[in-house]
Amino acid sequence: MNFGIVVFPSKEIQDFSNSHRMRYDPHYKLLPPHITIKKLESFDEQKMDEIVAHLEDVTSNLSPFEITFNRVSNFFPLSNVIYLALEETNKITTLYESINTGILREVQPQFPFTPHLTIGQNLNEDEMFDIFANLKTYNIHYRMKVDRIHMLYQLENEVWTAYQSFVLKDKY
């Protein structure tokens, strides 16, 4: 079964991103707007109890925090992806590093962790630059509180759905 771990943005950010994703992201109907914390992996269902225990342990030691999306950016020339970028990434990187330990440790990630919210992908180069130039004119400033993560799994029709949510609840 395919699983991933994400943070879902506030409704305001979802509305803004979906207004663009419906045209520029072929995954629009498969998965709501999100920040990927742990990319798609295939796990045996027998490991799920261990993964859930790991995520419960990690989230019990992390406090909720705020993040701010402040601009549109892209991954060109690595890929033709347009995304909402964060003003400061330290806290969400700490979340990523905490989750990607133990059973969820990724030995050699293909790319460094770059927290973002995709609003366009699988675009040809001209299309990407045209859309990117247009989106750069927007005054982006969306703040949100990160107080939970969501473990998702992929259904047979490729749609993603929630398996379990984990609240950040620092015990100390």
Q: Evaluate whether residue 115 is within a structural domain.
A: yes
Q: Evaluate whether residue 55 is within a structural domain.
A: yes
Of the listed 20, 27, 54, 116, which one is catalytic? 116
Q: Which residue has the tokens 């509305």?
A: 15
Q: Identify each DSSP E strand in the chain by its residue range.
A: 2-7, 35-42, 65-74, 82-86, 116-120, 142-146, 148-154, 160-167
Q: Evaluate whether residue 172 is within a structural domain.
A: no
Of the listed 20, 34, 54, 150, which one is catalytic? 34
Residue-range definition of the domain harbouring residue 11 = 2-167
* pTM higher than 0.85: yes
Nearest to 134 by CA among 26, 24, 25: 24
pLDDT digits (tens, 9 = 90+) for 56-76: 999 999 999 999 999 999 999
**Which parts of the chain register pLDDT below 50?**
none
34 is catalytic: yes
Q: Which residue has the tokens 């989106």?
A: 135
CATH number of residue 34's parent domain = 3.90.1140.10
Nearest to 82 by CA among 38, 36, 13, 136: 136
Q: Evaluate whether residue 141 is within a structural domain.
A: yes
The number of distinct structural domains making up the chain is 1
Phi, psi dihedrals of residue 41, rounded to the nearest 5°: -140, 155
Q: Evaluate whether residue 52 is within a structural domain.
A: yes
The whole-number pLDDT of residue 172 equals 52
Q: Evaluate whether residue 107 is within a structural domain.
A: yes
54 is catalytic: no
Q: Evaluate whether residue 108 is within a structural domain.
A: yes
